[in-house]
Structure 1
Amino acid sequence: MKKTTYPDGTTVESIYYDLNHKKTIKLDGNVIFVLNLDGEGRASGNNAIIEQVGGGNNVYGITRDNAGRILQVDYPNEDRSFTEYDVEGRIIKHRNYYKTHIINKFEYTLDNEGNKMTEKTNTGIRSYGYDEIYQLTSARYERNQAFTWEYDEAGNRLSSVEALAPTPSRSYVPNNLNQYASVNRVRYSYDADGNLLTDGTRSLGWDVRNRLIQV
């Protein structure tokens, strides 16, 4: 059993495995979740998660493959989601339904390093390009939205272009600490700890612990 008491007096209590592989979570002594766990300690099955609210139960079902990856989730409101993976265990398809009606879907193609190359959704297809060290250099979305980025050898952004934006292109000048000294010719300033002080439109203040306290 694990019990945590917070400064306001709220307690959260977790009671681990019983003989039926259940885990119970209580808030201030009241049961709010019951998890039905598989042999690996993962919520699984038709009654994977039982949420107790308002005197009733919300039941979530979770279906997993042999590797423990989630294939299907059934929600109390009759929503359902389905996920597919490639041989490397990376997500390549995800679909969300209400009953039998599809809400949205996502399909991905990946390169050998796992970078997303294309993304197919309800509204169209998006594509992405990378440089030789896998930094994102281009993206093309629906309705002719196109983006490009350039970087220096340290990975600092040097330029960005958004084709349909009011200001399509932006330029960046890094300093020797890899901070942006200026963006679109607007100078930035920093304190000795590297906190941003001014960016051309705002002044920022920090306390001795480098926490933002004023804008």
Structure 2
Amino acid sequence: MALKLVIGNKNYSSWSMRPWLALRASNIAFEEIFIPLYTGDADKQRILDFTRAGKVPVLIDGNVTIWDSLAIIEYLAERFPEKRLWPEDRAQRAHARSISAEMHSGFAALRNECGMNLHRPVGATELSTEARANIARVQEIWTECRERFGESGPYLFGAFGGADAMFAPVVHRFRTYAIAVTLDVKRYMDTMMALPAFQEWTSAGLAETLVIDRFEAV
């Protein structure tokens, strides 16, 4: 039975992008179920029919349902160990999980002030001190990972993995809001943007026509 992944709008839904990218870039077969966000009670009920949490993404694997981006990636890592979504080395694996959890629970200012919107024209915006600190921390994380663990490949831990999927929407945010980054960070962003699965998501998001006003304010 094929996996099913319930997602929201590719133009806006950064949380949906994370497990979708983990699946697609790892060549794990799945059925995509799209439910547009904030379009009315009917679509809200469709999400609630999959999970009482009422949010996307949701992964369905037979009688197993997982409704959180990081939890989905953890489940996929257990379900498909040969895909190596986490590094094999225990210390590297712990580091990858730590930065992924930090991404999952933090960076509120960056999220709020640089919302994911693939249609937004590229251009800088005035950012708070907190958002700038978030940006500096992300660059620190990426640079440290590349320096310590990147010898075997161009991603955070060499090969593409769960940590790259968790940070993928930030690549879009940095590009869209013309964030000034170091050369090493730019190289990593270029690597991510060249990933076929990343390009597939981006193209599909740009092809969407639904506009959600609450996400167009920045």
Normalised by the length of structure 1, the TM-score is 0.22
Between Structure 1 and Structure 2, which shows a larger proportion of helix residues? 2
Normalised by the length of structure 2, the TM-score is 0.22
Question: Which structure ranks higher in relative contact order (CA pairs < 8 Å, sequence separation ≥ 6)?
Answer: 2
